[in-house]
Chains A and B, each alone.
Chain A
Amino acid sequence: MNLYDIIFYFFAVVTVGSAMVVVFSKKIVYSAFALLFTFFGVAGIYVLLNADFLAITQLLVYVGGILVLILFGVMLTTNTVTIDIKSGTMNLIPATIVIALLAGMLGGIFWTSDWFMSKQFGDIVHTTTTTEIGNALITTHVLPFEIASVVLLVAVVGAAMMARRERNN
């Protein structure tokens, strides 16, 4: 049990525990704030996977952008802060059965499969990936990069227009 394992289990517990709070919490505001810890935990897992740039991007985009958007959505659309879990859920029993089966299947497949592992993965040098990602974005991935920028611009302008439109009737 070295330091890497301890940090992994710490972030795993943070991620899974706060994700459970997100899903099973009675109050939607608690869910939104628990989502913060889930995103932090996932960012920590990214760091453990040698994806430092992705971890920072995760913090900036998810915590700084998406979570704030979701909190605004919660505040603008709930007239009461508390929503009872009974009235706030539907299809509880069939969903539990289906999700339990699906989770068991996924876990079984992940556990039993003989995944391809690179031979030299033990002696990977831990360097930053930012340079490689930057190079890839302007050489091999330049078309998806440009398309993603246009998609993001159109989406944000469209969202602003949709959210601001006043209804006449």
Chain B
Amino acid sequence: MTITLTHFLMISAVLFSLGLFAVITRRNAIMVLMGIELILNSANINFLAFSRYSGMNIEGQMAAIFVIILAAAEAAIALAIVLNIYKRFNTVNVDEISILKD
């Protein structure tokens, strides 16, 4: 049995589910960020798999490059926000930062 497109898609589905699970369940904001990175990686695997198995089209790889660029920008901004939140509230638990609700 040889490796087909479906195998790569399965890995990406597992990574996406794990990332979404981390985003939903973990309290720590940095764990939420790690979940988002997992989700972005799973999307990239999909891009590259479809690019490879549809006749080595370069477009999928271009999309994956821009995903990586935006992931870098997102991580920088998000960590700056998390550091600010920690300075202000002395915690990074996302369920305790709810002063807008009160």
Contacts and interface: CB of A to CB of B under 8 A. Distances in A.
Interface of A: 1-2, 4-5, 8, 12, 15-16, 19-20, 22-23, 28, 31-32, 35, 38-39, 42, 45-46, 48-51, 53-54, 57-58, 61-62, 65-66, 69-70, 72-74, 76-78, 83, 87-92, 95-96, 98-99, 102-103, 106-107, 110-111, 115-118, 120-121, 124, 129, 132-133, 136-137, 141, 144, 148, 151-152, 155-156, 158-160, 162-163, 165, 167
A133 to B, nearest CB: 6
Contacts of B83: 73, 76-77, 162-163
B97 interface: no
B14 A133 contact: no
A118 B22 CA distance: 36
Interface residues of B, number: 72
B52 A51 contact: yes
B99 to A, nearest CB: 15
A8 B30 contact: no
Contacts of B9: 110
Nearest to B41: A42
A61 B72 contact: yes
B30 A158 contact: no
Interface in B46-78: 48-56, 58, 61-62, 64-66, 68-77
Given A102-B20, A148-B66, A133 B58 contact: yes
Contacts of A98: 24
Contacts of A103: 13-14, 17
A111 to B, nearest CB: 6
Contact of A115 (B53, B56, B71): B53
A78 B68 CA distance: 27
Given A19-B18, A65-B75, A42 B45 contact: yes
Interface string B1-27: 111011111110111111111101111
Contacts of B37: 35, 62, 66, 70
Contacts of A69: 75-76, 79
A95 B73 contact: no
Nearest to B21: A99
